[in-house]
Amino acid sequence: MAYTGTEAGFQDWLTAFRPRALAAGLAPSTLDALEGLGFDPAVVDKDRNQSEFTKPIWTYLDSAASDDRIAAGEKALARHRALFDRLEAAYGVDREVVAAIWGLESAYGTFRGDIPTLQALASLAYDGRRGAFFEAQLIEALKIVQDRHIPAERMRGSWAGAMGHTQFMPSSFWTFAVDFDGDGRRDIWGDDPTDALASAAAYLSKSGWTKGMPWGVEVTLPEGFDYAQTSERVRKPVAEWQAMGVRLADGGALPDHGLSSVLLPAGHQGVAFLICANFQVIETYNKADAYVIAVGHLADRLKGGGPIRASWPREDRALTREERVELQRLLTAAGFDAGGVDGLMGPKTIAAVRAWQMAQGLVPDGYANPALLARLR
């Protein structure tokens, strides 16, 4: 879907935004930071083609948990051992998961993003697809500038407005950022990662992290398994999964960490995971299953764990955005609620795919690929 935003339209939007920003408590002098901002269509394109949703999960994981990223993570954990000792003691969050987020978000601080945050957020707010969300983030970012945490010209980060070593959105800064080094500032941007890593640990802790609990474990499913029981929405005691024949990938009994779900990120021909409550905690950081699995798997590798055992259907490919939009339209027309037509494969779309598969007598794994789309046409 082509984007039709213009620079003139963006400037009109900025003019209309100013009274709303003043009403939100920003000083007129703070809004001087908006002077000179221009529309950046590239961030809009990236918002509509996020790699967590557009790449096959195996391609995403190949990069996220590459040998180089694992080796760099091991060095980062060793270099900052004393800091991670303090973080674990203060927040009760496993060091490897904090390091994994750091590794995925900024390559352990080596690339924190160079896109002007205010310009990115304003462009995305003007775009309108998630306009209310990004306008609220823009206001929070301006409040950070107003409170002198960082000058506007130094506030840089990702295309989505996320900032610093662990890529906090502005609202997350206000909710979770901490001054762990005691210098009077919550500095998530500078070369010293202390405050940023502490802030990520605080984020996970306040979101309900349970130390020592895995995010999930790789499992095998028995012949005749009821695939309608898969998805994050179906939660069962581990004893029930065990009774159904679910086993660890190495054949062992399942560890009991409370109510758990079976997740098939690439359908019944791919890898199966039994996910625990800590999966949902990482999900508060980024809702994409691929991201959560990448953080969890990288953390496991940093703990000394091995690679994923089962194979992915690498001959397959991800649906394009246009194909995902078509999928949602076809599902909706067939009477299966896909939760709208936005091209994003969220829980409602996956549930609609599963319901359609059941109606067709197919394996109801909720996985949409080009072959499934061809059957829907």
- Last-in-domain residue among 181, 213, 241: 181
Please report the pLDDT score of residue 251 as a whole number. 93
Residue-number span of the structural domain to which 175 is assigned: 7-49+113-181
Does residue 141 lie within any of the structural domains?
yes
Q: Could you tell me if residue 1 is inside a domain?
A: no
pTM: 0.92
Q: Are residues 176 and 325 in the same domain?
A: no
371 domain residue, yes or no: yes
Q: Average pLDDT in the 344-348 region?
A: 84
Final residue of a structural domain among 123, 146, 181: 181
172 inside domain:
yes
pLDDT tens digit sequence for 47-64? 876 655 668 999 999 999
Question: Quick one: which of 276, 347, 376, 330 has its CA closest to 53?
Answer: 347
Mean per-residue pLDDT, 220-229: 95
Q: Is residue 311 part of a domain?
A: no
Q: Would you give the distance in Å from CA 248 to the centre of its chain?
A: 26
Per-residue pLDDT, 62? 96
Whether 204 and 92 have beta carbons less than 8 Å apart is answered as no
Residue among 267, 280, 204 nearest 235 (CA): 280
- Cα–Cα dist 42/120, whole Å: 9
178 pLDDT more than 90: yes
Q: Is residue 73 part of a domain?
A: no
For residue 70, CA distances in Å to 108, 133, 134, 156, 297 come to 11, 34, 33, 26, 10
94 within 8 A of 299, measured Cβ to Cβ: yes
The answer to whether residue 142 sits within a structural domain is yes
**Does a structural domain hold residue 277?**
no
Per residue in 9-26, pLDDT tens? 999 999 999 999 999 999
pLDDT the model gives residue 50: 64
**Considering 181, 214, 238, which residue would you say is the last residue of a domain?**
181
For 284-313, how does the pLDDT look when each residue is reduced to its tens digit (9 = 90+)? 999 889 999 999 999 999 999 999 999 999
Q: Tell me the CATH number at 45.
A: 1.10.8.350
Q: In angstroms, rounded to a whole number, what is the distance separating the alpha carbons of residues 305 and 350? A: 30
The mean pLDDT of the chain is: 94
The region of weakest confidence among 26-30, 256-260, 306-310, 340-344 is 340-344
Task: Name the domain count of the chain.
Answer: 2
The alpha carbon dihedral of 357, 353, 51, 102 has a sign of negative
What tokens were used for 43? 């961030």
